[in-house]
Structures are given as structure tokens and as C-alpha cells.
Amino acid sequence: MSNPLLRDSVFHSPASHNGVMTVSGTINKSVILWIFLAASAFYSWTHPAVIMPLLFPILMGAFVLAVVSVFKKTASPFLSPLYALCEGLVLGAVSLYFEKMYQGIVVNAILSTICVLFCMLASYKAGMLKATPRFQKTVIFSTLAIGLVYMADLLLNVFGVGKFPYIHDSSTLGIVVSFAIAAVASLNLIIDFDLIEKGAQSGSPKYMEWYGALSLMITLVWLYLEMLKLLSKLSNRD
């Protein structure tokens, strides 16, 4: 699956008496989550000395919240804001690190991510890109492969063996690899849009709006980080 939070089965629960999921409701929840993320990112950006020693525990906390949401989707209204706050602290610190190395890169990465988001949404709405079974299988396989590569790279770094080839270097092939990873992250948005729309059409419970909003946030955070990495490689080539 492209995003572990977004599966067809999660939208097939019977709706509760509190209402049903809608696309507009999911958008509203997304806006709320991004406000939480932006606020915590700003704090992390302006207080790096406070956040840096706690960065790894916060990152692990965000990961745990995301995993729990997979198995306890009814808790999404409570876990999603917590995840957004934790992820914002991480992104603020990471963004500050890149900004100190490459002035202006954060703004460019944000704008690039927003442009990709709207391009993918326009392509989806126009029917240019559809989440067909073959499309989904290709994106899912590619996403899992990237995840395995990142895990291997992390293990190599932890044990001091080295780094996975082309993930971090600014060679031509390294830049091509980053382009490819960013492309896969972008295509995950098509699957996200499709599954959220299906959830609204099937009348899923209201809390699924938070679930869908959280899923979109996870995809966009990944895309933003890939944009940062890609832009930093391109800057090194200048």
C-alpha cells in the first residue's frame, strides 16, 4: 500500500450516528492539522537548542502515533493533532539544518511541494491520472522498495559501515535517484485522493475525516523532505 493509513478496508466501517465522512470535512481537518504542524515547526525553528536533544524521541513518538492510528483508526481525532505537533517539531529542526547550509532552500521546498500537490490534484480531477489496480500496485511496490532502501541506509549508518549508494551524493545518478523518489511520493497523492473520495462516497464514519487528513499529511511530509534533499543536491552542483 502507498500509505499504511489509507486502505480500502478502512473506509468500509458503518457510519456512526455522529455523521459521515465528506471530502470538504477532510479538507477542513487537514487545515487544522497543518496549523498545528506549522506552529510546532515555528517553535522548533526558533528554539533549536531546546528541540535538538529531544529530536530522536520526538521522531519515534511521531512514528508510534502513526502506527497506532493504523490499528486504532477511531482514535484518529485525538492522535492526529499529536502527530502533527511532533512532526512539526522534527520538520522545524530538519528545515533549519538545511537552511543554514543552503539559504532559501526551505521556501523553495515548500513552494515545490505545494505546486506538486496542486498538479497532482488537478491531474486526478481531470482524469489524467487514475488509481487503477495496476497504478496502485506499481506505486505500492515502488514505495515499499524505497522504504527498504532507507532502512538499509539507516542500518549502515548505525553500524558505521557506510552509506547506501546514490542516496546522499550529488552525482548525476544521485540526483536522478532523488527525482525518482520524489516522483513516487507525488504519485502516492493520487492514491490518497482516490481513497479519500471513495471513503466519502461510501459514507464512512465522521472520524475517518481525521484519518484521511492524517494520511495526506504523512505523504506530504515525505514529499517535502524529498524536495529538501533534491534541492540540496542540485545546489551542490552549482
- Arithmetic mean of pLDDT over the chain: 89
Contacts 24+ apart (CB under 8 A), 27-31: 27/213, 28/209, 29/80, 29/209, 29/210, 29/212, 29/213, 30/213, 30/216, 30/217
pLDDT number for residue 154: 80
DSSP-assigned letter for residue 129: S
Q: What is the mean pLDDT of residues 117-142?
A: 93
Helical residues (DSSP H) of the chain, grouped into ranges: 23-46, 48-51, 55-71, 76-101, 105-125, 133-158, 172-201, 208-237
- Asked whether residue 4 carries a pLDDT value surpassing 70, the answer given is no
- Asked whether residue 91 carries a pLDDT value surpassing 90, the answer given is yes
Which pTM value belongs to this model? 0.89
- Asked whether residue 137 carries a pLDDT value surpassing 50, the answer given is yes
Residues contacting 207, CB < 8 A, separation 6+: 16, 18, 73, 74, 76, 77
pLDDT number for residue 197: 92
- Asked whether residue 223 carries a pLDDT value surpassing 90, the answer given is yes
In the chain, the amino acid numbered 159 is F
Poorest-pLDDT segment among 81-95, 113-127, 192-206, 217-231: 192-206
